[in-house]
Each structure stands twice: as structure tokens, then as C-alpha cells.
Amino acid sequence: MADQTLTGTLKRVASDYPSRRALFVAGKLEITYSHLDDLVDFAASRLVDAGILPGDVVALTFPNTVEFVIMFLAVIRSRATAAPLNAAYTQEEFEFYLSDSDSKLLVTNKAGNAAAAAVGAAGKLGIRCATADLTESSSKVQIDGLPASANGHATPEATIDNDPSDVALFLHTSGTTSRPKGVPLTQQNLAASVRNIRSAYRLSENDSTLIVLPLFHVHGLIAGLLSSLSAGASVALPAAGRFSASTFWADIRAAGATWYTAVPTVHQILLDRHASSPESPHPTLRFIRSCSAALAPTVLTHLEAAFGSPVLESYAMTEASHLMCTNPLPEDGPHKPGSVGLPVGQEMGILDESGAVQAPGVPGEVCIRGPNVTKGYKNNPEANRAAFLHGWLRTGDVGFLDGDGYLHLVGRIKELINRGGEKISPIEVDAVLLAHPGVAQAVAFGVPDDKYGEEINCAVIPRDGAEIDVVEMEKYCKKNLAAFKVPKKIFVTETLPKTATGKIQRRLVAEQFVARASATKVGA
């Protein structure tokens, strides 16, 4: 039963490695596995005594702090459901997420005003609020806003019995739809996912990582934090509570990190900083992981050359409790630039529109099934009918498996550009644009066109100190792309709309630059 629940796995790790460092903030604190276990049990007991019942949703909005880690683990330990939320949301956004998740309690950080919008939204909805703060001695978490135990003592931890079917985590997909879909993930889903990640990257108690991405997102939460903790490894949190390129390598050294995981945008930021201010010497990591968006082969090559570590591109989604595919470690097989790697811990099929499995090399929709996959979206039968087919979860991505079983993604079904019947993958165009020496970031997208139905446009951000000549860029595209794939318009810009994790939102980019083009026409 222990290995069927995430909390059971973490209990076993605390028993196996009681004196090893679990959490670390440079210059501030270190917490061992035994101490973390005690902190989590105490906080879980406080939640139970305050009336939090199995299945109740507890929303959490924090920076990347120790308090978030403890409260997240305490919520799922108490058999409740944790719903991490981005503190940068507006009050209106918080109202949606708190309401849609049916949250019974909101817990925030004690210091600062970052959670003010969340508290305002909770008050409007009649949801109770509490704050959590680690005491100066780090002996316990002070939780204010919860009623005290009726008998003055916390509920004994032994009386809380987690079940594999308990919904432990509730997240919303960012997706391409206007209304995010709620994804419930069980203890069993999470236990299976961290097991897959540990296996794929050979994570052990000898590893250490620095959290780069926000912990309210599935990538940082499961791949960075929970997989490490389930392996007995050490997790370092940035002192500022968020990623900082200027302190990244100092934080890596202080943590003794052996790897890190991030989105392509973060890798590019680190590369750009390295180009202008080389880090010498920088520690050699066991591997660098990239996920949540396509990593252009040229960026992968530059990363490996700059930092001397293998870069492993992977493929994940919230509904799969994160990991689905990854390129293997060098000792386990080749990694193929442009591929997201081999399936890990679940079945994967490339299906056509009728549900038939496609042969190697033939593209179709990527579909998965396995113990890490959600059973369905919350209160959304229409989305469930569309997403599940004969027991498979449809990812909405188009791709193909090569002869070695590696997955190559073509693009999102809804993002493929249909130019006069020619289906164009924007990912392929992105890769060509990013190979240009003057381009730091790039995204291709489809726009309506009277003649072809859709036409391809792109937006590019220049590298520091570089100037992009649009005419020269057009010539470059014509040289490196088939004629029908050459962007009709190239926009040079300083910023692109991104998610909170740094993932470029292709749909929003298209909307922004289509509007800009329309405004230009009107004013002409």
C-alpha cells in the first residue's frame, strides 16, 4: 500500500534517510527528512482538527518557500486535496479557480501582500483563510486562522490513513480552450508519476536539485520537488522564492545540485547570460532536463556546449501527472535532438481519427493510458467525452513514433496551420527561426487568409545586441524552409505572451499580432 500512495512513499523515505537533507535554502535553513516528516504530520493534524475532511480542497498560494512544501504535503497527508494557485492571479481569476475547485480553505504566506487578491476572492466567496509560517526555531509551522484543537492536542498522525484513490492534487490545464479544465490527480497517480521520473533519470539519495520553476505548476511540483523527495534527494529552494538568472549558478553550487529541470525559455535566458557574462567555472551537472514546450535542436546543442552536460528533452502534461516521454540518460541510450524521447511507465499509441494505431513513422494523435493518468476532468462530461477514447487519453498533440520508439511531435491539433491544404507544423518553423544567430526567441502561428484559408506568420525576439533585418530574415527562411512554410509576415518584438512558467502561448501570440496587423491596415 505504501508504494501506491505518494504519502506512503514519502513516509518510507523519511524512515530510510532520517538524517539526510530534504530541503535547503542557502544561508537560511536546512531540514532533514525526519524533521520534514514531523513538520508535515503536525500541520496535517492541525488541518484535521480544524475540520478539514477527506476530499476537501485546500487552496495554497505561496512563493517557492519551505512553508508551501510543508503545507502541500500536510494537505495531502490529511487526505484532503491540494490546489496550488499562482499568487500573481487577479482577484477575478482567484474567484474562478477557488470556485471551480470548490475550495474549503485558502492558506497563504504570512508576510507581504502577494496573497491579497486571493484573500479578497476567498472573502467574497465565503471561504475561510489561514496563514502558514515556519517558526524561527523551525520546530513547527505556525498556522493562524484555524480553530484550535478541542482537546488541546493534535490528532495523532497514526489515525490518518491515506488511500490510493484519495484525490491529492487538483490543477487546471492551461490548454488552448478559453476555460481551463480541472484535473484531479490521485495519490496513486502521483505515486506512479514520481516512480516513473525516478526510474527515467536514476534519481537517488545522492542527487540534489534547485527548484527553478514555480511550484504551483505540475512541472516544478512533480518533476522537481516530489520526485526528488520520493528518492531521498535534496531539494534547494531559491532564497528569493523565485528563479533568478543572476544567482542561478551560485545557488546550484551552494545546493550541490546534480541536475535541474526547466522550460526552454529559462534555458535560453541562462544561455544568453552565459554568452554576455560567462560563468567560470560552472559545475558540471549529471543532466539538464527540458520540458513543457518544444526545445529547438540548436538551443539543445548550445546548452550542451556551454554547460558540458547532457540535455534531455521530455514530454509531459497535467493529465498524465506530468511525465510521458523523455530522452534517456547517456548510459541508457541515445538522445535525439528534436525528439521528446521514449515513453516512460505508460502505454502510448499514435491513433488515427477512427482510433486505429498507426505504424512507425506515420503521424496521428498521441494517446496514452496508465496508472499515472487522470480518470477524467472534474464536472466536465463534455470534455471527458472528447478526451477519452476506448480507454485512451487523447493528448491533442500530433506526432509519430520512429523505428526506435522515440516520439517526434508535429504540433497541437488545434495549432497546426492548414495553408491551402498543406498542414504545417509551427514547431518545425520555430526550430528554423531559432537557428538564426540573431534570434533569441521565436514563435510561428497561423492567421486567417482569404486565399489559402490560413497563412503563416511569426514573431521573433532578437538576441541582446543583435538587430534583425526583416528582409534578411525572409531570405533566411526561404533558404531553409519549403516555400509554403515561409512566414508571410515577420514581426520583431521585445516580448511575447507567456504562462507563469515561461511557456510561450502560441494562441495569444497569434491574437496579439493579428490585432497589430489589423490596426496597421486601419491606420494606413
Chain centroid offset of residue 17 CA: 28
For residues 143 and 60, the answer to whether their CB atoms sit within 8 Å is no
For residues 220 and 226, the answer to whether their CB atoms sit within 8 Å is no
Does position 59 have pLDDT exceeding 60, yes or no?
Answer: yes
Query: What string of DSSP letters covers 220-252?
Result: IIIIIIIHHHHHT-EEE--TTSS--TTTHHHHH
- The pLDDT value recorded for residue 177 is 47
For residues 211 and 63, the answer to whether their CB atoms sit within 8 Å is no
Average pLDDT over every residue of 358-378 = 96
For residues 490 and 460, the answer to whether their CB atoms sit within 8 Å is yes
Quote the CA–CA distance of 235 and 22 in Å, as a whole number: 6
**DSSP strand pairing (57-61 vs 103-109):** parallel
- The pLDDT value recorded for residue 65 is 94
For residues 368 and 392, the answer to whether their CB atoms sit within 8 Å is yes
pLDDT in tens, 204-227: 999 999 999 999 999 999 999 999
Chain centroid offset of residue 65 CA: 17
Helix, strand or coil, per DSSP, at residue 417: strand
For residues 476 and 506, the answer to whether their CB atoms sit within 8 Å is no
Quote the CA–CA distance of 174 and 505 in Å, as a whole number: 9
Quote the CA–CA distance of 513 and 243 in Å, as a whole number: 29
Helix, strand or coil, per DSSP, at residue 385: helix
Helix, strand or coil, per DSSP, at residue 309: coil
User: Measuring CA to CA, which residue among 9, 96, 124, 107 is closest to residue 52?
Assistant: 107
- The pLDDT value recorded for residue 393 is 96
In order of start, what are the domains of the chain with their CATH numbers?
A: 2-6+12-397 (3.40.50.12780), 417-523 (3.30.300.30)
Residues 6+ apart with CB under 8 A from 398: 363, 364, 365, 366, 409, 410, 411, 412, 413, 416, 425
Quote the CA–CA distance of 318 and 395 in Å, as a whole number: 10
Chain centroid offset of residue 395 CA: 16
Quote the CA–CA distance of 177 and 180 in Å, as a whole number: 7
User: Measuring CA to CA, which residue among 214, 318, 216, 316 is closest to residue 266?
Assistant: 214
DSSP 214: -
Amino acid letter at 339? S
Cell output for 459: 514573431
Cell output for 461: 525576439
pLDDT in tens, 267-307: 988 998 998 888 777 789 999 999 988 888 888 999 999 99
Amino acid letter at 312? L
Quote the CA–CA distance of 323 and 84 in Å, as a whole number: 19
Q: Say what percent of the chain tops pLDDT 90.
A: 68
DSSP 130: E
- The pLDDT value recorded for residue 295 is 87
User: Measuring CA to CA, which residue among 185, 255, 257, 266 is closest to residue 222?
Assistant: 185
Model pTM score: 0.85
- The pLDDT value recorded for residue 151 is 44
Does position 524 have pLDDT exceeding 50, yes or no?
Answer: no
Quote the CA–CA distance of 127 and 102 in Å, as a whole number: 9
Q: Which residues pair with 169 in a beta bridge?
A: 82, 185
- The pLDDT value recorded for residue 152 is 46
Quote the CA–CA distance of 111 and 446 in Å, as a whole number: 44
